[in-house]
Amino acid sequence: MLITPQHLIQWKQQNRAIAVLTAWDYAIASILDRAGIEVILVGDSLSMVALGHETTLPLTLDEVIHHAKAVRRGVKEALLVVDLPFLTYQESWQQAMHSAGRILKETNAGAVKLEGGYPAIAETVARLVQAGIPVMGHVGLTPQSVRQTGFRQQGKSHEAGEKIVAEAIALEQAGAFAVVIEHVPADLAKTITESLTIPTIGIGAGIHCDGQVLVTSDVLGLGTWKPKFAKTYLDLNALITQAVQEFGEEVRAHKFPPET
């Protein structure tokens, strides 16, 4: 079954939780898809995990399209969502239309994701949806605003929390089919989830969201740093290091390849 945005909305109504992970190449995407992950996100986190940057800001539209094409080849059933990189949609809704259109046309993705919920962004979402482009929103900690906010938890004061709730509601009203809620207090995420008819996807936002997303390199233990709210299920860094060290040792000892 090819998963669509409408499936996610139905699953919220059915109280069925949604698992979301990121991918940046064919191999990882194939594994996630075969494992039954419902949504695969080509997130702008690939700027750090695949390209070695310190933040998501340097990522370009051409780069995300390049990686999304590879991911698409590995995805057969999951909903593929692709992030719009920094400054590829903020200037105007026309710029966003061009960027999102390129992503859908060149990668065959199922949807795009963009950050923020203030009025100009909500208008952009509405324009994209009207043009037939499915959009996932993103509120709370928005990594593309790291120069302003840092990586601190958002929405801790009453006023800040109310603003994030209002942004999420505005995104739903604009036609977004889901909203990522990142690094906010769990009670705030619960309020947002209960206020929306579209699903919420939490990351560092507690257990009350309709789904959860993590960066796959954090799950696999591939990164050198991960946020406190992430969970490492496997220390792949250590396993890979051991494997390549053994290979190197065998080569230097003339044990690989074996004699035939």
Helix (H, G, I), strand (E, B) or coil at 214: strand
Residue length, the chain? 260
Would you say 194 is a known binding-site residue? Answer: no
Would you say 113 is a known binding-site residue? Answer: yes
Would you say 62 is a known binding-site residue? Answer: no
Beta strands 79-83 and 200-203 are unpaired
Active site residue 182: yes
Of 219, 239, 215, nearest to 83 (Cα)? Answer: 215
**Buried b vs exposed e over 200-232: b needs ≥16 C-beta within 10 Å?**
bbbbbbbebbbbbbbbbbbbbbbbeebeeeeeb
Would you say 157 is a known binding-site residue? Answer: no
Which of the following is catalytic: 38, 167, 172, 182?
182
CB 68 within 8 A of CB 80: yes
CB 209 within 8 A of CB 235: no
Would you say 105 is a known binding-site residue? Answer: no
Task: Give the C-alpha separation, 235 to 111, whole Å.
Answer: 31
Binding site, residues? 44-45, 83, 113, 115
Binding site for 3-methyl-2-oxobutanoate, residues? 44-45, 83, 113
Q: Among all residues, which ones are annotated catalytic? A: 182
Binding site for Mg(2+), residues? 44, 83, 115
